[in-house]
Structure 1
Amino acid sequence: MTLLALNKPYGTICQFSPHEARPSLAEWVRVPGVYPAGRLDSDSEGLLLLTDDGALQARIAEPRHKLVKRYWAQVEGEPRAADLKALARGVDLGDYVTQPCRAEFVEPPDTLWARNPPIRYRATIPATWIEVSITEGKNRQVRRMTAAVGFPTLRLVRVGIGALDILSLGLEPGDTLELPARAPWDGVV
């Protein structure tokens, strides 16, 4: 079994086949036969796991397994505690209501890599960092959730899957790391 952690760079699509306008996973991952266990949209960055083991891929990606995915979202504006409680209760997005999650404020991360290209800076509009932990993972879910409560996401970074944390792995954007088949966090997955 092969299990890789990738720090997916901003702008990269979660497929190996070439794309006419964006880089694909093939530009960063050189190990044959692995596939993403879940996805990150091209505008999101951070931890992506890839494996050649279908059962492990399902345990990581399928919501019924309740594996927590942690995201740091830099949102436009200054949400209050009540706004984060609204996120945590679940948000009606029109086509579905999200499951309850954890949402809390985090300090601006000084250990986070710079995004290329950087987000647009606006001196008159503040930005706030929050951490959102979900077990679902529907298309653009965290972005849609923050927008639904009035705070659009400017930057979204997946920092954790289960007990794995991208910052503790020390991966820069585009870096991969092969994880041991029986890693200490394996029981979490």
Structure 2
Amino acid sequence: MPNSNNKEGHKHFMIYKPYGYLSQFINNGQKQNSKKLLGELFDFPNGTMAIGRLDEKSEGLLLLTTDGKTSNHICSGAIEKEYYAQVDGSITNEAISKLRDGVEIGFDGKKYITNPCKAIKLKDTPNFPERSKKIRDERHGPTSWVSITLKEGKFRQVRKMTSAVGFPTLRLVRVRIGNILLNNMQVGEVIEVKRVIQ
């Protein structure tokens, strides 16, 4: 069946980005082999680019495409991105309210107020694969999980937001971009998809 998203032979992928990988294909002048790059996970076609980024210590759903228009659309601020953050401490209702309303973070050397967003404390611990680098254990105090859904995406925004309300992020996993879900993907898994978000 023909696909409107693939008229020019573009390729699209969803991957579960592992902890410790950069959301890029080129080392940008860093020492050879000093950083893990996406190209180590799969034989991607030339011209493949990450749509947005997850920082090196973050995990989860990342979309890749060879189509610049698709990338620009998803990065335009119109598409929801949902993150599950494991935070240090038992997050309070007051902190959740502050996250929803918008908090002040630093961005590009300036102060920035985040847009109102969706934030809820998760009742149950998500069933993610164990991270390659161990999270600190419960002997150092309780942790809790929160779902944060944004349309904007400033650098390290979720981490800065939870720190701003007094609950630093210990682990961050992106679970959804628009209607595309991480679901039960395994760490490092790559799935070629016919289309990404319209």
- TM-score of the superposition, structure 1-length normalised? 0.90
1:138-186 alpha-carbon deviations (Å, 9 max, x no partner) = 100000000000000000000000011101xx321111001113x6xx4
Choose the corresponding residue for 2:11, options 2, 12, 26: 2
Provide the secondary structure at the position in 2 that maps to 1:96.
strand
- The residue correspondences of 1:39-188 to structure 2 (distance < 5 A) are 39-63=53-77, 66-94=78-106, 95-106=111-122, 107-110=124-127, 112-167=128-183, 170-181=184-195, 186=197
Conservation of the 8 A alpha-carbon contact between 2:91 and 2:121 = no
Higher strand share: 2
Provide the secondary structure at the position in 2 that maps to 1:93.
strand
TM-superposed CA distance for 1:52, in Å, is 0.7
The residue aligned with 1:29 is: 42
1:102-127 alpha-carbon deviations (Å, 9 max, x no partner) = 000112012x1110012121414100
Counterparts of 1:143 and 1:82 in 2: how far apart (Å)? 17
Opposite residue 101 of structure 2, the aligned amino acid is R
The residue aligned with 1:17 is: 26
TM-superposed CA distance for 1:15, in Å, is 1.2
Structure number with bigger Rg: 2
Counterparts of 1:61 and 1:38 in 2: how far apart (Å)? 6
- TM-score of the superposition, structure 2-length normalised? 0.86
Counterparts of 2:126 and 2:135 in 1: how far apart (Å)? 15
Provide the secondary structure at the position in 1 that maps to 2:176.
strand
TM-superposed CA distance for 1:62, in Å, is 2.2
Conservation of the 8 A alpha-carbon contact between 2:117 and 2:149 = yes
Moved more, 120-129 or 66-75: 120-129
Q: How many residues align?
A: 179
TM-superposed CA distance for 1:79, in Å, is 1.4
1:78-107 alpha-carbon deviations (Å, 9 max, x no partner) = 111121010010111142111111000112
Q: Which runs of 5+ in 2 are unaligned?
A: 1-9
Q: Which runs of 5+ in 1 are unaligned?
A: none
Counterparts of 1:126 and 1:97 in 2: how far apart (Å)? 28
